[in-house]
Amino acid sequence: QPTFRIAPSILSANFAKLGEEVQNVIAAGADIIHFDVMDNHYVPNLTIGPMICEAIRPCTDALIDVHLMVKPVDRIIPDFAKVGANIITFHPEASEHIDRSLGLIREQGCKAGLVFNPATPLHYLDHVMDKLDMILLMSVNPGFGGQKFIPGTLDKLREARRRIDEYTAKTGREIWLEIDGGVKVDNIAEIARAGADTFVAGSAIYNTPDYKATIDAMRAELAK
Ligand code: DX5
Ligand code: ZN
């Protein structure tokens, strides 16, 4: 069995008690806090920035996975590194110099990743595998929680998995494959079979009354 990681997106949390919401999902068995940064420019929504990351950092030892949906990306990277982000991912279309942005994230001591929208081709991976710790495939168009999983993402996951396995066999270096958008208890097993190892879930966890029951149900599906 591969290692599976569950990453609740706090986008669907109750922001009036965000610290508790972070602690509650980790206590319920989640592995990573997924942190969605939207700028009302690269994506049509406006969410949270480094101040909020700083505010939740003392609430947990879990990894904070910052998903940047902003343009430009470079100048905000050090701000997130400074307040304790562990993983920083960005969309290749949002950076003028992808290799430089990835380097910047690593220089700041964070793990680096690229995010692919449903229609963004995987060829952006061609020359940067050595600089990646994570590949994130969007299974919805970015901007909002609570959208439906786009089924065509499964084929893309299989292709990304093939590229990662080939790379790992050659180099011995691991790259995480994360999926984001519309992940639920009833599709997580199929998504895992297509190759994902890290699962973002916002509404599927935070819109249920019992986080532990939901995360346990996800793990039970993953163990099938
Ligand atoms: C969408 C965000 C997602 C979102 C997922 O742009 O990147 O992380 O919060 O929400 P659900 O799991 O509800 O689709
Ligand atoms: Zn996200």
How does residue 16 score in pLDDT terms, banded at 50, 70 and 90?
very high
* Smallest-distance ligand from the CA of 199: 1
- In order of 9, 52, 69, the CA distances from 49 in angstroms are 14, 6, 11
**Mean model confidence pLDDT for the chain:** 98
**Domain carrying residue 96:** 5-222
Ligand 1 pocket check for 204: Cβ under 6 Å: yes
195 assigned to a ligand binding site: no
- The residue assigned the tokens 């909020």 is 52
146 assigned to a ligand binding site: yes
How does residue 38 score in pLDDT terms, banded at 50, 70 and 90?
very high
Q: For residue 172, report the phi and psi dihedrals to the nearest 5 degrees.
A: 75, 5
- Is 99 known to be catalytic? no
E strands in 12-157? 32-38, 63-69, 87-90, 111-116, 134-138
Ligand 1 pocket check for 205: Cβ under 6 Å: no
Contact predicate 135/176, CB 8 Å? yes
- Is 180 known to be catalytic? yes
pLDDT digits (tens, 9 = 90+) for 69-83: 999 999 999 999 999
Q: Total domain count for the chain?
A: 1
**At residue 119, does pLDDT exceed 70?**
yes
CATH for 204: 3.20.20.70
**Considering only CA atoms, which residue is closest to atom 6 of ligand 1?**
142
pLDDT, position 2: 77
From CA 14, how far away is CA 214, in angstroms rounded? 17
Q: What number is the average pLDDT over the span 84-104? A: 98
Tokens of 90: 């960005």
Look at residues 33, 78, 72 and name the one whose alpha carbon lies nearest to residue 56: 33
**At residue 142, does pLDDT exceed 80?**
yes
How does residue 155 score in pLDDT terms, banded at 50, 70 and 90?
very high
Ligand 1 pocket check for 163: Cβ under 6 Å: no
**At residue 91, does pLDDT exceed 80?**
yes
Could you tell me the distance, in angstroms and rounded to a whole number, from the CA of residue 153 to the centre of ligand 2? 15
- Catalytic one of 31, 39, 180, 197: 180
Alpha carbons within 13 angstroms on the beta-carbon side of residue 128 total 22
- Catalytic one of 31, 36, 39, 65: 36
Could you tell me the distance, in angstroms and rounded to a whole number, from the CA of residue 68 to the centre of ligand 2? 8
How wide is the angle at C-alpha 101 spanned by C-alphas 99 and 174, nearest 5°? 70
How does residue 1 score in pLDDT terms, banded at 50, 70 and 90?
low
Ligand 1 pocket check for 145: Cβ under 6 Å: yes
Counting from 1 in the atom list of ligand 1, the atom nearest the Cα of 143 is 6
Residues 56-89 as b/e (b if ≥16 CB within 10 A, e otherwise) read: bbebbebbbbbbbbbbbbeebbeebbebebbbbb
* DSSP designation for 114: E
- The residue assigned the tokens 């220089």 is 107
Q: What number is the average pLDDT over the span 127-153? A: 98
